[in-house]
Amino acid sequence: MEHTVVASGLTLHYGSTRALEDVGFALRPGTTGLLGPNGAGKTTLLRILATALLPRSGDLSILGYDPATPEGRLAVRRRLGFLPQNPGYYAHFTAFDFVDYVAILKEMSDRASRREEVRRVLEQVGLTADAGKRLRTLSGGMRQRVGLAAALIGDPPLLILDEPTVGLDPEQRLRFRELLAELGETRTVLLSTHQTEDVIMVCQQVVVLHQGRVRYDGTPADLTRLAHQRVWLSDARPERMLASWRAGDGRYRSIGDPPPDAELVEPTIEDGYLTLVEAHPAVTSR
């Protein structure tokens, strides 16, 4: 299948902070997870893809358009759904009015067809019965769905979601993941998350960003495999490892080069992720 997003050499610095350094990847229709520790550059990258920021250098093609040009940016914006980390909801708006407002910003001027579209997206995220409720009375999970409904206006072929599952309880997270998986069946979805479970459950591709660089780009299963035969249990904390923590049963679970005769266990995707991130410890001055 053809690539919908192709990025190469993306670089962006905020003063002396190198938020992105030579970032490249390609996306196809389906769902891709963007993982990385705090400050890795995820939000910066998503904002560049959403045309809210211009990179200092690098090439980007989104749905065949070049967002470095004003015409390209406009074309991308018309075909993009973006759920930012802090969408800035208007607490006194109802869910319907908020999504309708976003539809107006998206240039839908015909009132009847716009309201029909608003009803369609609210239905898609399961909010039809709550459309008349004010945003301040909704739970965090419902508000997150309102944000997603707004991003779905116009049925965009590309959806960019910045930490959409943050602050949701396990039940809400499950429902939200189900919705994301469904959306990825017919479009390109890129979501940043701190939840490796999100990636396992909904993503076909995962990109790991760390210190502004792409450390991994592949399938979730291959990310898990990076920790194959590198995770072990022990009663005492080992001396040489990449990461080690004490589990609820009092035993240590460690990642790294296991000692001879170590009690090896099957890795999880989190182990694979930690193998990458812990191999490049945080640097204070770059």
Which residues would be at the binding site for ligand ATP (CB under 6 A)?
14, 17, 19, 36, 38-44
Nearer to ligand ATP, 164 or 267 (CB): 164
Closest distance between ligand ATP and the C-beta of residue 133, in Å?
29
Closest distance between ligand ATP and the C-beta of residue 216, in Å?
15
172 half-sphere exposure, CB direction, 13 A CA radius: 14
Closest distance between ligand ATP and the C-beta of residue 214, in Å?
13
8 A C-beta contact, residue 105 and residue 88: no
Nearer to ligand ATP, 58 or 267 (CB): 58
Nearer to ligand ATP, 163 or 271 (CB): 163
Closest distance between ligand ATP and the C-beta of residue 54, in Å?
13
Token pair of 171 as six digits = 């039940």
Nearer to ligand ATP, 40 or 75 (CB): 40
Query: How far is residue 158 from each of residues 48, 194, 253, measured CA to CA in Å?
Result: 14, 21, 39
Query: Could you tell me which residues are beta bridge partners of residue 31?
Result: 189
Closest distance between ligand ATP and the C-beta of residue 198, in Å?
14
Closest distance between ligand ATP and the C-beta of residue 224, in Å?
21
How far, in Å, CA of 57 to CA of 79, rounded?
Answer: 23
8 A C-beta contact, residue 193 and residue 269: no
Nearer to ligand ATP, 48 or 241 (CB): 48
How far, in Å, CA of 178 to CA of 124, rounded?
Answer: 12
Closest distance between ligand ATP and the C-beta of residue 151, in Å?
18
Strands 188-193 and 213-218: unpaired
How far, in Å, CA of 252 to CA of 236, rounded?
Answer: 7
Query: How far is residue 266 from each of residues 9, 26, 195, 236, measured CA to CA in Å?
Result: 35, 30, 19, 19
Closest distance between ligand ATP and the C-beta of residue 196, in Å?
14
Nearer to ligand ATP, 41 or 55 (CB): 41
Nearer to ligand ATP, 17 or 137 (CB): 17
Nearer to ligand ATP, 31 or 211 (CB): 211
How far, in Å, CA of 159 to CA of 89, rounded?
Answer: 19
Token pair of 237 as six digits = 């904390």
Type and span of the H or E element at 105: helix 95-105
How far, in Å, CA of 200 to CA of 202, rounded?
Answer: 6
Query: How far is residue 275 from each of residues 109, 207, 243, 259, measured CA to CA in Å?
Result: 51, 14, 8, 16
